[in-house]
A and B are shown apart, each in its own frame.
Chain A
Amino acid sequence: MSKDLRIINNKFIDQTTRISFKFDDKTLYGFKGDTLASALLANNIHLVGRSFKYHRPRGIMACGSEEPNAIVQVGNDDSMTEPNTRATEIELYEGLEVSSQNCWPSVNFDIGAINNFFSPLIPAAFYYKTFMWPANFWKIYEYFIRKSAGLGKSPTKPDKDIYDHRYLHCDVLIVGGGISGIIAAKTAAKNNLNTVLIEDKNILGGTTIFQENECFKINNSYSNEWLKKEIETLKSLKNLTIKTRTSLAAYHSYNYLLARENLTDHLDINEKKDKIRQRLWKIRAKKVILATGSMERPLIFNNNDRPGIMLSSSIKKYIDFYGVKCGQKISLFTNNDSIYETAISLNNSGVSVNSIVDIRDKTNSLIVKQAEKLGIKVHWKSSIVNTNGYKKINSIEIMQLSDDGNDVVGKKIKEECDCLGISGGWTPRVHLFTQSGGKLKFRDEDNVFLPNKSELDQISIGSCNGDFELDEIIKNAADSINKFLKVNNNDYENLEIITSKEINKKNIWLLPSDKPLGKTKSFLDFQNDSTANDVKLALREGFKSIEHVKRYTTTGMATDQGKLSNMHALGIIAETAGVKMGELGTTTFRPPYTPLTFGTIVGRNVGEFFDITRKTPVHDWHVENKAEFENVGQWKRAWYYPIENENMHEAVQRESKAARDSAGILDASTLGKIDIQGSDASEFLNRVYTNAWSKLEIGKCRYGLMLNEDGMVYDDGVTTRLSENHYLMTTTTGGAANVLSKLEDYLQTEWPELDVYLTSVTDHYGTVSICGPNSKKILSKVIPDLDLSDKEFPHMSFKNVLVDNIKCRVMRISFTGEHSYEINIQSSYAKSVWEKCFEAGKEFNITPYGTETMHLLRAEKGFIIAGQDTDGTMTPLDLQMDWIISKKKYDFIGKRSLYRSDTVREDRKQLVGLLTDDPKEILEEGAQIVAETNKQPIEMLGHVTSSYFSPNLNKSIALAVVKNGKKLKGQKLFVPMKNKTINVTITDTVFLDKENKRLNA
C-alpha cells in the first residue's frame, strides 16, 4: 500500500488487520473491510483491465454494482475460477488472487490494443456488416471474431463450492438498507409486521452513513450520526430480519423475489471450507418497499474513459468510507451540486482539489458556498474538451461553453491531474420496479425515469423514487410508508433537517469538444466501447427504436447491462432524433439485476440431488444382484442383470430365453395402481375405457385402453374387479400420476353425479411377476394351498391369498405371452416375497429379468407399450386393436373423435410388424421407412417404434408405424441408414405363439 494514498479511517474498515492478495501475480496488501477496488486504489493501481473491442486501458470507475470497467478474473483453479467479477464488489480476503481480463500478454502491454488504431475501420455493428459484404469473406472474419468474443475464462471443471436455496415468507420486504430503507424497516417492524430488510453491502446505511458534512444535519447532528442511532434501534426489533451481503436479483409477479446472499465470499480461504458459499432466497412478500437508491451518471466528453476518471461519489466513498485517496491532484467535472460534497470530503481529508469544472452558470446553493469558502476553484460555464494520459489520466483540457451549450469558446486551459471525478446527475435505480411489471414516467426537470403505476403491492421510496434531497427523502419516505402499511408512525414528523438545495440544474448529454465530432471518442458504454458517434451512426443508418440501437451498437449489452450508459444513450438518441425522452422509453430491464453464479441458480440440485429418484421395495435386491438400472421417469428400474462380463445384448438374450424356456421373474412394482371404490365404479370404467366393463365378473381381470378426448391412445393397463363396487386399475409406469389426475378431474368436473372414489396405491403394493412354463410350479411352492388349475384359476383372474399370513393378491395375467402370475403384496413384504419366489424357482433356473427383456418378450407377442409404440397420434384402429372398441356403449372418452373424417382415414399410419431380409440385422428404433430410395425427395412412410433380436425366434423383429400399413402386409420396404439400406417386409404384429397356447402351458 502506498502510505500517501491512505488516511487514518477506522470507522468502516479495520486498518489494524492487514490482508495480502495477488493482482496479476503481484502480491499487494489491503485492510480487512476493503474491497478489491479500494485496495487496488490504495496501491495506486487504477489500470485493471482492457475494454472489449478496442482494448483501451480501463480503470476503476465506481464503487458498486454499476462498475463497468474493473471486472476481473477471480482465482485460477480450473473448477473455481470466476470471470467478470466486479472489483468494487469483491470483499478482500486473505489468499484472494485476481487477474485482469481481455488483455494479452499483460494489462500494461496488450497486443489487442492495436484495435484502437483501427477503430475507424471497426465502427458500431461492423461485424453485422461482415455478414453482408463480401458475403464469402465471412469464413475468414468468423475465425477472428469468434476468437475475440467473450470476456474472461470459464471454469472447465465442476464447481467445488456449495450453494443452496431457501424459501422465505414475510409481511414486508425492504430492498435497500440506505436511509429510506432503514426508516421503512423500523416503521414496519415496530408495527408488528414480519419484516425483512436486505442490503447488498456488508453494512447498512447507504451513502448517508459516511456523510459528515455541515450542509446535511438532522436534529443538529451530522446525518451519519443520526442514522447510526436509527440503525442501533433496529437491533431491538424482534420482527425484523436483516440480511446484509444480499443482493436482490429478480422481482417477479405476485411479489415473488429472488435474492442472492453471499455467505462466505468475504472469508479467508481456509474459513470457507464445507460452508455454503452463496444462497438463493426465494421470497414471497405480502408487501415490497423498494429503497434501491440511485446511481451517479458519468459525463460524456472526448476521451472520458481513461484510467483515473471516476464517478465523483465513488471518490467520496473511497476517501470517507475506505480511507483511500484516489489521487493526489484531483480535478472534478460536474453538471450538479453533489460533486461539491466530494470536493469538501477530499479537502477535509487533506487531498488537494485542483478545481471544479461546472457546466452551469454560477449557482449559490449552500454546498457550493461551503466549497468556495474552502478556497476550491470553480470553472463556471465550462467543459472538459479532452483528457490526456494513456494508462492513467495526467491532464485535462478545459474550455468555456457557449451560451447555448452546443459549442466551446475561448482559450483552452490545460490542468494537470492524476484523477478526475465526474458527475452527470443521478439515475434512480428503477430496474427492479420495472422487472415487476411497473410502468415508468419521465420527469423532464432532471431527466429521470421514475416509478409510476404498478399492479403489485409495492412502493418505491427515497432516491429511487426521485427524492434526492435529505429533507424530501425522510419526509416523503415516512409519509409513503405510513400510507402503504396503513400505520401511523410519527417518529420522523418533527425532525429539524438542514440540507443543501440544488438551485440550478443543467444537462448536456453529449458535451461539445473543440474537435469535430468524428475526431472525438466520447464513450457511452465503457465496457463494450460504444461511443456517442456509434449511436449517431445507428440513427443515420435508420435505427430509431432504443431496443434496435442497443443491439446495433451493443450499448448497454455488457455485463453491467448499461447501468451507467443507458440514460446518455437515450438522451443522445432523443436529441438527435428530435423526440422527447419520455416518449422514447427505456430498454427492457430483465433479471438478474446483477449477475448470478450458475451455482446459486442450481443450489443443491447437483450430483445425487440433480433429479428425484424413486425406488421399488425390491430395489436393494437388484443392487445386491448387480443389476444395471434404467431411468423410467423418476423410477430406477432394473434394466438387465449381467453375469460376469455380459453386455446388455448378451444378458437380454439369456434372460428372455430363460423366461420362455423355464421361468423368469420381474419387479413390476412401478406400474401405476389406482384403487377404485363406489357404487358407480363399473359405469365409471365404461366411460374411461373403450371396452365394456359392466359384465366383468368379480375376481376377473380385463385389459383396457384409455383414450384422450381426441381419440388417441393415452394409457393402457389391466383392471381387476375385487368385489361388487371395488376395482384395482393398473396404469403404465410413466402414466400413473397423469392418469389419476385426469380421472379425478373428470369425476370432479364432468361426472360429479358418479359415486366413485379414487385412491393411489402405487407405492402401497410391490408387484412380483413370475412368468414361463414353470411359473405354476414355482407359485405352488410359494403358496401351496392355492389351487392353480386352469379351471379354478384361469387366465385373466385373481385370488386373495395369504403368504405366511400376509395378505396378497395374485393375478394371473401376462405381458409376455407366457403362463404368468403377478403377486401384489404390501410393499414392506415385497422384497421378502421376491426372495421366496426366487428361492422356490432355483430348481427351475428362475432368471431375474429387467425392463429390456420385458420389452423384447412383449414385442414378440406384439403387445404395445403406450408411449413407445404410440406417440399421441395413434388411435386403437391405427394399432389394429379394433376389437377393443365397444360398439354397444353409449359413450367413452374419445369415442366421438374415432368417427371423424381424419381418424377413419384408411391411409393413416398403422402399427405393423417388420422382418428384415437378413434375420441378423437389427433395425434402429426411430429409423425411417420408405418405399423407394431413388426418388427425391424421399417420401417417409413411417418409422420403427420397437426393435430387438429375438433369441426365441432366432431372428430380428420390429414393430413400426407405417402409412396404410394394414394393407401393405407382405410388401417389401426399405430402411435407409447412414451407410446402407436395409430391406424389410411388413408382417403381422404377433411374431410368436399366435394361437396363445403358451398362456395355458
Chain B
Amino acid sequence: MLNFNTPIIDTKEYSEIKISEIEPILKINLRGKSRDFVTKIGKELSIITPVDPNTSSSNEKFNLLWLSPDEWFLYSNDKIGIKDANFLENKLFNEISKVKLGSVTNVSDHWIMINLRGAKIFELLSAGCPFNFNNFKNSKGAVTQTLINHIDVIIHNKNVNDLNLFVRRSFSAHLWSWMNDSARFI
C-alpha cells in the first residue's frame, strides 16, 4: 500500500490560538456559468450555490465557497477516505463536465487545510495579511482570497473565532512555520 503523507501533520497551541492541519479533506474546484450548472450542483450536493461574492453555504457534509462569478470551491466537513473522494469526484465529473455544463477538478492535494481557533487568531493574521477582517470576523460563512506573508490563501469563516484556511501544498510548510513564529509574539 502507498503511504499517505501530508506536509505538516501537527497541531500547535499558543495563548488563545490553536492551529492544526486537518487532512485528508476532499476539495473540488467547480467552474461553470450557466443556470443549469448552478442547479446541478445544488441537486448533486443538496446545497445552495452561493452567488454573492465572498460568501459560502454549508450542509452537514460540505461547504461551498464562492471564489469568482464562475468558480466555486467545495470541501468536506470531515476527513474523507480516497475511495469516497474518488466516487464523489467521478459523480460530479460525469454529471457536470462530461455533459458540458462546466468543469470539475479534484484539488484535494492542491490545497492543505489549516484550522485556526481562538480569540487571538485575527491578531495572528494581522501580522502578515493586508485584508480587513473587521467585518469578516463577525460574518459567519464569509470567504476571502488574500495573502498571508505573501502567500495566496483562501480563508473561510466557519464560526466565531474558528477559521479554515487553505494554502497551496507547496507553500504550506513555510506558512505553517511563519504562523508558529508569529504566534509566539501575540
Say which residue of B4, B7, B110, B132 sits within 8 Å of A615 (CB atoms). B7
Known pairs A604-B181, A612-B149, A725-B100; A759 contacts B107 (CB<8 A): yes
**Residues of chain A in range 165-215 having any CB-CB distance to chain B below 8 Å:** 165-169, 194
On chain A, the residues within 8 Å of B127 by CB distance are: 164-167, 604
Whether A617 pairs with B171 at a CB distance below 8 angstroms is no
Does B11 reach chain A (CB closer than 8 Å)? no
| A604 CA / B107 CA spacing, docked (Å) | 31
Say which residue of B82, B110, B130, B173 sits within 8 Å of A764 (CB atoms). B110
* Chain-B contact segment, one of A152-160, A675-683, A861-869: A675-683
Encode contact with A along B85-114: 1 for CB under 8 Å, 0 otherwise: 010000000000110101111111111000
Whether B103 pairs with A679 at a CB distance below 8 angstroms is no
Whether A614 pairs with B2 at a CB distance below 8 angstroms is no
| A282 CA / B127 CA spacing, docked (Å) | 10
Does B178 reach chain A (CB closer than 8 Å)? yes
**Nearest Cβ in chain B — how far from A670, in angstroms?**
8
Say which residue of B31, B108, B169 sits within 8 Å of A759 (CB atoms). B31
Encode contact with B along A523-558: 1 for CB under 8 Å, 0 otherwise: 000000000000000000000000000000000000
| A803 CA / B82 CA spacing, docked (Å) | 13
Does A622 reach chain B (CB closer than 8 Å)? no
Does A755 reach chain B (CB closer than 8 Å)? yes
Say which residue of B3, B134, B170 sits within 8 Å of A616 (CB atoms). B170
Whether A762 pairs with B5 at a CB distance below 8 angstroms is no
* Chain-B contact segment, one of A44-52, A92-100, A505-513, A822-830: A822-830
Whether B170 pairs with A763 at a CB distance below 8 angstroms is yes
Whether A615 pairs with B173 at a CB distance below 8 angstroms is yes
Say which residue of B105, B107, B131 sits within 8 Å of A677 (CB atoms). B105
**Residues of chain B in range 153-186 having any CB-CB distance to chain A below 8 Å:** 168-171, 173-174, 177-178, 181-182, 185
On chain A, the residues within 8 Å of B7 by CB distance are: 615, 617
Encode contact with A along B109-150: 1 for CB under 8 Å, 0 otherwise: 111000000000000001111111110000000000000011
| A901 CA / B106 CA spacing, docked (Å) | 46
Encode contact with B along A293-319: 1 for CB under 8 Å, 0 otherwise: 000000000000000000000000000
On chain A, the residues within 8 Å of B50 by CB distance are: none
Whether B174 pairs with A612 at a CB distance below 8 angstroms is yes
| A176 CA / B3 CA spacing, docked (Å) | 60
Say which residue of B6, B86, B150, B151 sits within 8 Å of A807 (CB atoms). B86
Does B20 reach chain A (CB closer than 8 Å)? no
On chain A, the residues within 8 Å of B134 by CB distance are: 169, 194
On chain B, the residues within 8 Å of A828 by CB distance are: 4-6, 23-24, 108-109
On chain B, the residues within 8 Å of A167 by CB distance are: 126-131
Encode contact with B along A611-655: 1 for CB under 8 Å, 0 otherwise: 011111100000000000000000100000000000000000000
Known pairs A615-B7, A757-B32, A759-B31; A806 contacts B103 (CB<8 A): no
Does B57 reach chain A (CB closer than 8 Å)? no
**Nearest Cβ in chain A — how far from B73, in angstroms?**
10
Does A325 reach chain B (CB closer than 8 Å)? no
Residue picked from B32, B100, B105, B149, most chain A C-beta under 10 Å: B105
Say which residue of B3, B32, B126 sits within 8 Å of A831 (CB atoms). B3
On chain B, the residues within 8 Å of A805 by CB distance are: 1
Does A391 reach chain B (CB closer than 8 Å)? no
| A162 CA / B185 CA spacing, docked (Å) | 10
What size tier do the contact residues of chain A reach? 35 or more
Whether A168 pairs with B126 at a CB distance below 8 angstroms is yes
On chain A, the residues within 8 Å of B6 by CB distance are: 828
On chain A, the residues within 8 Å of B133 by CB distance are: 169
Does A765 reach chain B (CB closer than 8 Å)? yes
Whether A164 pairs with B182 at a CB distance below 8 angstroms is yes
| A957 CA / B137 CA spacing, docked (Å) | 60
Does A855 reach chain B (CB closer than 8 Å)? no
**Residues of chain B in range 50-106 having any CB-CB distance to chain A below 8 Å:** 70, 82, 86, 97-98, 100, 102-106
Q: A284: nearest residue on chain B (CB-CB)?
A: B132
| A678 CA / B32 CA spacing, docked (Å) | 9
**Nearest Cβ in chain A — how far from B181, in angstroms?**
7
| A764 CA / B181 CA spacing, docked (Å) | 27
On chain B, the residues within 8 Å of A275 by CB distance are: 185
Known pairs A162-B185, A612-B171; A761 contacts B97 (CB<8 A): no
| A726 CA / B97 CA spacing, docked (Å) | 9
Does A276 reach chain B (CB closer than 8 Å)? yes
Q: B151: nearest residue on chain A (CB-CB)?
A: A612
| A166 CA / B131 CA spacing, docked (Å) | 11
**Nearest Cβ in chain A — how far from B55, in angstroms?**
20
**Nearest Cβ in chain B — how far from A282, in angstroms?**
7
Say which residue of A617, A670, A678, A830 sits within 8 Å of B103 (CB atoms). A678
Q: A168: nearest residue on chain B (CB-CB)?
A: B126
Interface of B is mostly: loop
Q: A744: nearest residue on chain B (CB-CB)?
A: B68
Number of A-B pairs whose CB atoms are under 8 Å? 135
Q: A281: nearest residue on chain B (CB-CB)?
A: B126
On chain A, the residues within 8 Å of B97 by CB distance are: 677, 725-726
On chain A, the residues within 8 Å of B130 by CB distance are: 167, 282, 284
| A244 CA / B6 CA spacing, docked (Å) | 44
On chain A, the residues within 8 Å of B110 by CB distance are: 760-764, 827
Does A795 reach chain B (CB closer than 8 Å)? no
Whether A609 pairs with B109 at a CB distance below 8 angstroms is no
Whether B171 pairs with A832 at a CB distance below 8 angstroms is no
On chain B, the residues within 8 Å of A764 by CB distance are: 106-110, 169
Does A882 reach chain B (CB closer than 8 Å)? no
Does A381 reach chain B (CB closer than 8 Å)? no
| A614 CA / B181 CA spacing, docked (Å) | 18
On chain B, the residues within 8 Å of A759 by CB distance are: 29, 31, 103, 105, 107
Whether A829 pairs with B100 at a CB distance below 8 angstroms is no
On chain B, the residues within 8 Å of A763 by CB distance are: 109-111, 168-170
Whether A806 pairs with B29 at a CB distance below 8 angstroms is no
Does A836 reach chain B (CB closer than 8 Å)? yes
On chain A, the residues within 8 Å of B82 by CB distance are: 806, 826
On chain B, the residues within 8 Å of A833 by CB distance are: 2
Say which residue of A613, A616, A670, A761 sits within 8 Å of B105 (CB atoms). A761
| A417 CA / B154 CA spacing, docked (Å) | 69
On chain B, the residues within 8 Å of A194 by CB distance are: 134
**Residues of chain A in range 717-738 having any CB-CB distance to chain B below 8 Å:** 723, 725-726
**Nearest Cβ in chain B — how far from A553, in angstroms?**
42
| A615 CA / B174 CA spacing, docked (Å) | 9
Whether A832 pairs with B3 at a CB distance below 8 angstroms is yes
**Nearest Cβ in chain B — how far from A412, in angstroms?**
62
Whether A614 pairs with B171 at a CB distance below 8 angstroms is yes
Q: B128: nearest residue on chain A (CB-CB)?
A: A165
Whether B3 pairs with A608 at a CB distance below 8 angstroms is no
**Residues of chain A in range 913-934 having any CB-CB distance to chain B below 8 Å:** none
Say which residue of B3, B111, B171, B178 sits within 8 Å of A829 (CB atoms). B3
Does A444 reach chain B (CB closer than 8 Å)? no
| A678 CA / B105 CA spacing, docked (Å) | 12
Does A804 reach chain B (CB closer than 8 Å)? yes
Whether B103 pairs with A677 at a CB distance below 8 angstroms is yes
**Nearest Cβ in chain A — how far from B50, in angstroms?**
18
On chain A, the residues within 8 Å of B171 by CB distance are: 612, 614
Instruction: Give 15 A-B pairs besides A612-B171, A615-B7, A757-B103 with Cβ atoms closer than 8 angstroms.
Output: A166-B126, A167-B127, A169-B132, A609-B149, A612-B174, A677-B31, A678-B103, A755-B100, A757-B32, A760-B110, A764-B107, A764-B109, A805-B1, A826-B82, A827-B110
- Between A and B, 9 residue pairs with Cβ closer than 8 Å are A165-B127, A282-B130, A284-B132, A617-B7, A762-B110, A763-B168, A829-B3, A830-B5, A832-B5
Q: Which residues does B use to contact A, with CB under 8 Å?
A: 1-7, 23-24, 29, 31-32, 70, 82, 86, 97-98, 100, 102-111, 126-134, 149-151, 168-171, 173-174, 177-178, 181-182, 185
Q: Which residues does A use to contact B, with CB under 8 Å?
A: 162, 164-169, 194, 275-276, 282, 284, 604, 608-609, 612-617, 635, 670, 675, 677-679, 723, 725-726, 755, 757, 759-765, 803-807, 826-833, 836
The 7 closest A-B pairs by CB, nearest first: A677-B103, A757-B103, A764-B110, A614-B170, A757-B31, A169-B132, A832-B2
